[in-house]
Each structure stands twice: as structure tokens, then as C-alpha cells.
Amino acid sequence: MLGGSHAQAPKLAGFNRIGQVIAVVSGKGGVGKSSLTALLAVALGRQGQKVGVLDADITGPSIPKLFGLPAGGLRGNEAGILPAITRTGIRVVSANLMLPEEDAAVAWRGPLITGLIQQFWGQVLWGKLDTLLVDLPPGTSDPLLTVVRQMPLRGAVLVTSPQQLAALVVRKAVNLLKTLNVPVLGVVENLAYYPCPQSGEHHEVFGPSHAYEVAVAAGCDLLVRLPIDPSLTQLGDAGRIEEAELPELAPLVARLLGVVTQRAQA
Ligand SMILES: Nc1ncnc2c1ncn2[C@@H]1O[C@H](COP(=O)(O)OP(=O)(O)OP(=O)(O)O)[C@@H](O)[C@H]1O
Ligand SMILES: [Mg+2]
């Protein structure tokens, strides 16, 4: 267990017991990081894990919306900030939960954003968690560096999509993670194909896959290819992502559960 050695307030070091911290990273925006973070949280919860989600996308937070959590849902006391709790018990902290209204904008410069991410790690009463998932904004800028420096990451899940640009930019993320010594636990190619409901044939709507080359570059053999599934968008928009079923995620879920097992045995 990680006792919160990385810059957590001394009072919290005893209270927070976090088994593993995993970042969800992509190069390009809009490839499905937040959806995947939410779906992984749900899947790990269904396996009996206590899960938290730290929304490190301060200016474009989308985690509360996916879970149907209202703005203004964060409370705090002298001891720290209390996470919001979803219907199935996932603990969530996000800038959007601090705003008076869901569509209020956060127009902050880098240092303030960095400071808030640090607070989400250092001053939140997460309690005992098996897994804390960190949803990052796209790219390889400050928030990723802040998360890598402040939190004891077990590794990252890399999300890409079949567009060449996404593969190109995600390779930049691979290189940065290598430089920062963050292992890649899995590569997820989202929006990989559309399964024809009639024939079952897979149509590669956004072009041929680049996920294998991304996985090779990342030195990671775990590859999950997720279909285009309109029900995901509908459930996410309705704040009901906890009802989604995505069996294709199973190998990645197993990998993340395996990390906990290995750590527990160590
Ligand atoms: N496999 C999928 N099938 C259908 N729609 C999807 C799928 N994955 C994601 N989407 C939809 O694509 C949109 C973008 O997804 P999401 O917000 O998760 O991406 P993101 O990478 O977090 O974006 P950003 O870079 O802006 O943070 C959402 O409307 C989501 O519902
Ligand atoms: Mg997002």
C-alpha cells in the first residue's frame, strides 16, 4: 500500500490508503480518455474494488457529467476535501464539482491548474482505495508532469484512435512517459471499428489500426481495441455510464487487477 508519501498533508497520510494510482493518458484530444477512465472505474468496482477518480482535466472536466454528479457536489472540512460519491460508490474529485454551475468556465493559467491538481492529491480524503484512476487532459503538458511528479504512479494506460494523427501524437506521449520512467500498462485503441449489427463485420470507419505500432513503441503487449458504440455516448450524455457494458475491456481490467495482486504479494 502507498501510504500517501508523495506530498500528502501529514494528517491525510494515515487516513488515505491507496493501493495503486493509474493515469489515463493520450496525445490527441477527444479519443475517449474520460469515457475510458469512467468505464475502467466501473469495471474495477464491479470486481469488488474500491475505486476513486481524480479528474486532472481542470479546464475541460467531463468525469462528473458521465456519472451524473451535479456541480457544487464537493464538501470539505478542516481535515480535507470530501470526494463526491457516484451511485455505485466510486469516489470522484473534479474541478466541475467545485463550480456553482456545470457550464461555468475555468479560465486559469498553468500554476493555478497545477495547484488544484496537487490539492486533489494532497488534500482529498480519499480513504482506503484499491485503485485511483487519474483522467488527464490531452497532450504532454503541465498536468501530466504534475501528476507524474506528485503521485506515486504505478503506470499509465495510453489511449489512441485509428487516425494517423492520434497515433503520431500518442508516440510523443510514449516518449515522455519513457523519459519519466512511467510504465505503460496497456494501450487502448478506441473507436477502432464499427461492428455491423446485421453482418457482424468490423468496419474500420476511421482508417486502419495503428495500435500495434503504438504498443510496440510503448514496450507494452496489452492491446485493447474498443468498437464505436453509440450507446456509450448516450449513457455518458445521460450521466449513466455506470450502466455501460464493454466486455472488450476485460484484458485491461485483468491487468489492472493483477498489478494490485502483485503489489500485495510483494
Ligand atoms: N467507443 C466509443 N463509441 C462511441 N462514442 C465514444 C466512444 N468513446 C468515446 N466516445 C464519445 O466520444 C466523445 C469524446 O470522448 P471523451 O470525452 O471520453 O474523450 P477525451 O479523450 O476524454 O476528450 P478530451 O481530450 O477532450 O478530454 C464523447 O462524446 C464520448 O461519448
Ligand atoms: Mg477528457
Tell me the average pLDDT of the chain.
87
pLDDT tens by residue, 190-207: 999 999 989 989 999 888
CA of 208 to the centre of ligand 1 (A): 19
Nearest CA to ligand 1 atom 9: 32
- Nearest atom, ligand 1, residue 36 CA: 18
Q: Which ligand is nearest to the CA of 25?
A: 1
Q: Which ligand is nearest to the CA of 139?
A: 1
- Nearest atom, ligand 1, residue 29 CA: 25
CA of 31 to the centre of ligand 1 (A): 6
Percent of the chain with pLDDT over 90: 55
Nearest CA to ligand 1 atom 5: 233
pLDDT tens by residue, 83-123: 999 999 999 999 988 876 776 666 677 778 888 999 999 89
> Does 264 score more than 50 pLDDT?
no
Which CATH number among 3.40.50.150, 2.10.109.10, 3.30.390.10, 3.40.50.300 corresponds to the domain 10-265? 3.40.50.300
CA of 266 to the centre of ligand 2 (A): 34
C-alpha cell belonging to residue 25: 493518458
> Given this model, what pLDDT does residue 37 score?
98
Q: Tell which wins on pLDDT, 233 or 11.
A: 233
Q: How confident is the model at residue 263 (pLDDT cuts 50, 70, 90)?
A: very low
Residue ranges of the annotated binding site for ATP are 27-34
Q: Which ligand is nearest to the CA of 231?
A: 1
Around ligand 1, the residues with Cβ closer than 6 Å are 26, 29-35, 57, 60, 62, 137-138, 190-191, 226, 228-230, 232-233, 236
pLDDT tens by residue, 130-180: 999 999 998 777 889 999 988 999 999 999 888 777 677 787 888 889 999
Cα–Cα distance, 252 to 257 (Å, whole number): 9
Nearest CA to ligand 1 atom 16: 32
Q: Where in the chain are the domains?
A: 10-265
Which of the residue ranges 7-11, 25-29, 100-104, 205-209 would you say has the lowest mean pLDDT?
A: 7-11
DSSP 3-state assignment of 95?
helix
Q: Tell which wins on pLDDT, 262 or 111.
A: 111
> Given this model, what pLDDT does residue 29 score?
84
| Strands in the chain per DSSP E | 17-26, 51-55, 75-77, 80-82, 84-85, 91-93, 128-135, 153-160, 184-189, 194-195, 202-203, 223-225
Q: Tell which wins on pLDDT, 57 or 221.
A: 57
Cα–Cα distance, 78 to 161 (Å, whole number): 43
Cα–Cα distance, 74 to 97 (Å, whole number): 6
CA of 88 to the centre of ligand 2 (A): 21
